[in-house]
A and B are shown apart, each in its own frame.
Chain A
Amino acid sequence: GAGVSQSPRYKVAKRGQDVALRCDPISGHVSLFWYQQALGQGPEFLTYFQNEAQLDKSGLPSDRFFAERPEGSVSTLKIQRTQQEDSAVYLCASSSTGFNEKLFFGSGTQLSVL
């Protein structure tokens, strides 16, 4: 596609609900990253995929967070039993190779947990 696409753009969840956030990277991009961004802060790394392999998930804050990229293209970030502290913007980025090249970001999903 022309750019990284994320959906939904906005998501409101009641505390305890499960949510799924989708990322459609640029076609052919091998690497895919998820970041969490709190208001007024820089993006915090969550997890990284190379094709379908999840090579680093050290940034996931708890076992309620789960990410997958089963066919090496579209990725889903799932948050189970959402808490208020999960409220943030979730950014997805892709690159043609890996960390040593520039990242292309989507517009993000703004998650609000009430």
Chain B
Amino acid sequence: SQQGEEDPQALSIQEGENATMNCSYKTSINNLQWYRQNSGRGLVHLILIRSNEREKHSGRLRVTLDTSKKSSSLLITASRAADTASYFCATVDNYGQNFVFGPGTRLSVLP
């Protein structure tokens, strides 16, 4: 079963706009990670945020974590056509024994 649930399922924006994707989960976590997957390829790690962190930045990526609401968001600023991909959140529980991916958000950035 999948713990993380991304929202929206699909998102289409114009180049230069910002893209925001959300992830909700059910149980306590040790950390939450975001991954990107281009069509026909494996997943690539983007960013990891630990349960005691509230916000993290990496280049054009900004991730927030609200453990009280059991939710996270991924913001991609100034999007590019090359950002077109599926984005997945993955949660790791406090025992480090369960690494669960959500169904993903399919992002299309139109030139």
Interface residues, chain A, CB within 8 Å of chain B?
A: 4, 33, 35, 41-45, 48, 56, 91, 93, 98-108
- Residue tally, chain B, CB below 8 Å to A: 25
Q: How far is the CA of A45 from the CA of B4 in the complex (A)?
A: 13
B98 CB-CB contact with A under 8 Å: yes
B-side binding surface: helix, strand, loop or mixed?
strand
In the bound complex, how far is the Cα of B21 from the Cα of A76, in angstroms? 35
**Contact status B103-A42, CB under 8 Å:** yes
State the Cβ distance, A88 to closest chain B Cβ, in Å: 13
Bound CA–CA A94/B23 (angstroms): 24
Cα–Cα distance between A60 and B104 once the two chains are bound (Å): 22
Whether A104 lies near B96 (C-beta < 8 A) is: no
Are A43 and B101 in touch, CB under 8 angstroms? yes
Let me know if B99 and A99 touch, CB within 8 A.
Answer: yes
Residues from chain B with a CB closer than 8 A to the CB of A41 are: 103-104
Return 23 A-B CB contacts under 8 Å, by A number.
A4-B42, A33-B99, A41-B104, A42-B4, A42-B88, A42-B101, A42-B104, A44-B2, A45-B98, A91-B42, A91-B43, A98-B96, A99-B30, A99-B99, A100-B30, A100-B96, A101-B48, A102-B33, A104-B45, A105-B35, A105-B42, A106-B42, A107-B40
